[in-house]
């Protein structure tokens, strides 16, 4: 169809908006039937750029799209395993962290199991604008897509994630020579077998080390060099005591803190989610390098305390100018591809900033239920998913709180009389009876 009128338009069909779709179907089926998700890709895939066969999720399978809100949901990861005939086999793994490819397949399964919420793939939003009535009230949103289709919605939910971080020094290089981790799998798979294989990997965190390991398998015989700004590679700093900051309760507590307290918590918790590597991956890399030396092979080169201060492309070769942060000495590194494990921009994504400008908001304030604060008389609403770390805590961009967050958004959308009571207030998170657990 070239035009759709809906109550809720969700931009993006990744985990955040899929969790919302599940919550709508379970808590507000009438509203679910008037909800549309649009996704620019051809299908639902999680972490498409680093969908490496051996890579595992770093989040418990219990933190899926439904369990923490409604453990009796038919959309849980456990039910997915049961429906696909792998529950016993998964239990024998003895792990809480599934393979990343399995999480991705779980998301695809959820998308296909939705009965009321519709998903349109291959539909990239090129324009989304607020529409106001004669009194100046925001009444709805209009969206235009690359294929010429349009949609009008009362409420808009943005679930597209943050923008990849491309450091300024690399922005002048040809696009085919610089590969961000979000595009690794697609870009490397497209290289011919005889492609030059001098590879520079930039970064010292999880995505950089995953690319180092993966590229040695994907391009046998390549010569990777890992460039790390820090003085060494370090594991994530976390424990069973700090993991509480990735809980639903912690998110609610964080929102009630003042600005100084929030800043302190985020600073203390940063190393549990950023600039670190899983101990398993660090151990595996060290053992691989040791075996290489035993076999007389060239081991992976790691340049620590090193930053890239310039980059140029000449005669098909990328030349990086490196500075040793300890001595100040400059050197050059010639390579054919630069792989960036540089993460994502901490500021609001460009799409959110454009909507902020269109709404005429000097500052962007988000409510406890993830709604952007606009004038009280406004009817149309804007919800943001996965970009509210500054107000909702360090887990906001992760799978950890998605199920409960989706329930919060649905509760905010429903009239007061129809809202489900939160878990822990004398009622279950959903209006289902206990017999549903046996189904």
**pLDDT tens-place string over residues 24-33:** 999 999 999 9
CB count within 10 Å of CB 14 equals 24
pLDDT tens readout for residues 65-98:
999 999 999 999 999 999 999 999 999 999 999 9
User: Which pair of structure tokens corresponds to residue 425?
Assistant: 């207030």
Instruction: Write the CATH number of the domain with boundaries 168-236+274-340.
Output: 3.50.50.60
User: Which pair of structure tokens corresponds to residue 10?
Assistant: 């969700």
Q: Lowest-pLDDT range, 329-343, 363-377, 404-418? A: 404-418
pLDDT band per the 50, 70, 90 thresholds, residue 109: very high
> Quick one: how far is CA 293 from the chain centroid?
37
Distance CA 206, CA 168 (A): 21
**Angle separating helix axes 402-413 and 15-27, nearest 10 degrees:** 50
Which pLDDT score, from 0 to 100, does residue 243 have? Answer: 87
pLDDT band per the 50, 70, 90 thresholds, residue 418: low
Distance CA 12, CA 36 (A): 10
Which pLDDT score, from 0 to 100, does residue 420 have? Answer: 66
Distance CA 36, CA 11 (A): 9
Beta bridge partners of 99: 56
pLDDT tens readout for residues 225-271:
999 999 999 999 888 888 889 999 999 999 999 999 999 999 999 98
pLDDT at 404 exceeding the cut of 60:
yes
163 within 8 A of 174, measured Cβ to Cβ: no
Beta bridge partners of 330: 323
Contacts of 344 (CB under 8 A, 6+ apart): 161, 162, 163, 164, 165
pLDDT band per the 50, 70, 90 thresholds, residue 438: very low
2 or 36: which carries more pLDDT confidence? Answer: 36
What is the pLDDT averaged over residues 371-399? 95
Contacts 24+ apart (CB under 8 A), 325-333: 325/229, 326/231, 333/200, 333/225, 333/227, 333/303
Q: Counting Cβ atoms within 10 Å, is residue 134 exposed (0-12), middle (13-18) or buried (19+)?
A: exposed
143 or 376: which carries more pLDDT confidence? Answer: 143
Average pLDDT, the chain: 92
pLDDT at 275 exceeding the cut of 90:
no
Q: Lowest-pLDDT range, 6-15, 68-77, 247-256, 428-437? A: 428-437
What is the pLDDT averaged over residues 158-166? 95
pLDDT tens readout for residues 181-201:
999 999 988 887 677 689 999
pLDDT at 141 exceeding the cut of 50:
yes
pLDDT band per the 50, 70, 90 thresholds, residue 416: low
List phi, psi (to 5°) of 80. -60, -45
Distance CA 386, CA 205 (A): 20
191 within 8 A of 49, measured Cβ to Cβ: no
Which pLDDT score, from 0 to 100, does residue 1 have? Answer: 58
Give the helix, strand, coil percentages of the chain, each rounded to 5: 35, 20, 40
Which pLDDT score, from 0 to 100, does residue 221 have? Answer: 83
Q: Counting Cβ atoms within 10 Å, is residue 158 exposed (0-12), middle (13-18) or buried (19+)?
A: buried
Which pLDDT score, from 0 to 100, does residue 439 have? Answer: 35
Burial 88-108 (b: 16+ CB within 10 A, else e): eebeeeeeebbbbbbbbbbbb
Q: Are strands 198-202 and 337-340 parallel, antiparallel or unpaired?
A: parallel
Distance CA 360, CA 379 (A): 16
List phi, psi (to 5°) of 77. -65, -35
Q: Are strands 150-158 and 138-145 parallel, antiparallel or unpaired?
A: antiparallel
377 within 8 A of 137, measured Cβ to Cβ: yes
Distance CA 271, CA 286 (A): 21
pLDDT at 409 exceeding the cut of 60:
yes
193 or 109: which carries more pLDDT confidence? Answer: 109
148 or 417: which carries more pLDDT confidence? Answer: 148
Distance CA 198, CA 11 (A): 38
Decide: helix, strand or coil at residue 151: strand
**Tally of CA atoms within 13 A in the half-sphere of 21 that contains its CB:** 30
Indicate where the chain has its CATH 3.50.50.60 domain(s): 3-163+345-438, 168-236+274-340
Which pLDDT score, from 0 to 100, does residue 287 have? Answer: 94
Alpha helix segments (H runs only) across 148-272 = 184-189, 206-218, 248-256, 259-269
pLDDT at 177 exceeding the cut of 70:
yes
pLDDT at 430 exceeding the cut of 60:
no
pLDDT at 432 exceeding the cut of 50:
no
Q: Is the dihedral of CA 182, 67, 246, 99 positive or negative?
A: negative
229 within 8 A of 299, measured Cβ to Cβ: no
pLDDT tens readout for residues 318-340:
999 999 999 999 999 999 999 99
Global pTM reads 0.91
**Tally of CA atoms within 13 A in the half-sphere of 65 that contains its CB:** 32
Instruction: Write the CATH number of the domain with boundaries 3-163+345-438.
Output: 3.50.50.60
Percent of the chain exceeding pLDDT 90 equals 83
């Amino acid at each position: 169809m070239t035009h759709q009128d809906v109550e809720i338009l969700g931009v993006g069909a990744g985990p955040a908006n899929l969790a919302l779709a599940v919550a709508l179907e379970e808590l507000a089926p009438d509203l679910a039937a008037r909800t549309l998700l649009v996704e620019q890709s051809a299908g639902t895939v999680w972490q498409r750029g680093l969908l490496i066969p051996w890579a595992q999720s770093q989040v418990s399978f219990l933190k899926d799209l439904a369990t923490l809100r409604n453990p009796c949901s038919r959309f849980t990861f456990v039910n997915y395993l049961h429906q696909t005939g792998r529950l016993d086999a998964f239990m024998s793994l003895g792990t809480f962290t599934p393979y990343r490819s399995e999480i991705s397949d779980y998301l695809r399964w959820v998308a296909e199991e939705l009965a009321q919420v519709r998903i349109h793939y291959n539909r990239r939003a090129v324009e989304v604008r607020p529409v106001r009535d004669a009194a100046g009230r925001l009444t709805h949103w209009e969206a235009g897509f690359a294929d010429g289709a349009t949609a009008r919605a009362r409420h808009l939910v943005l679930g597209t994630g943050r923008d990849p971080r491309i450091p300024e020094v690399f922005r002048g290089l040809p696009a085919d020579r610089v590969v961000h981790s979000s595009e690794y799998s697609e870009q490397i798979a497209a290289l011919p077998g005889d492609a030059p294989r001098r590879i520079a990997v930039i970064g010292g965190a999880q995505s950089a080390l995953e690319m180092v390991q993966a590229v040695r398998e994907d391009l046998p015989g390549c010569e990777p060099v890992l460039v790390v700004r820090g003085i060494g590679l370090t594991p994530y700093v976390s424990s069973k005591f700090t993991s509480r900051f990735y809980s639903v309760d912690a998110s609610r507590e964080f929102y009630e803190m003042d600005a100084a307290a929030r800043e302190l918590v985020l600073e203390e918790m940063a190393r549990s989610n950023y600039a670190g590597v899983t101990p398993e991956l660090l151990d595996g890399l060290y053992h691989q390098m040791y075996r290489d030396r035993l076999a007389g092979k060239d081991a992976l080169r790691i340049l620590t305390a090193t930053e890239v201060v310039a980059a140029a492309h000449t005669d098909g070769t990328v030349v990086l100018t490196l500075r040793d942060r300890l001595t100040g000495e400059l050197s050059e590194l010639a390579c054919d591809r630069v792989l960036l494990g540089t993460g994502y921009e901490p500021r609001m994504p460009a799409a959110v900033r454009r909507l902020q400008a269109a709404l005429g908001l000097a500052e962007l304030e988000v409510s406890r239920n993830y709604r952007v604060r606009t004038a009280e008389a406004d009817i149309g609403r804007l919800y943001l998913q996965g970009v509210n770390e500054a107000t909702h805590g360090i887990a906001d961009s992760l799978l950890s709180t998605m199920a409960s967050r989706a329930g919060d958004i649905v509760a905010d959308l429903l009239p007061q009389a129809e809202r489900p009571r939160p878990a822990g207030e004398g009622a279950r998170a959903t209006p289902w009876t206990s017999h549903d657990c046996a189904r």
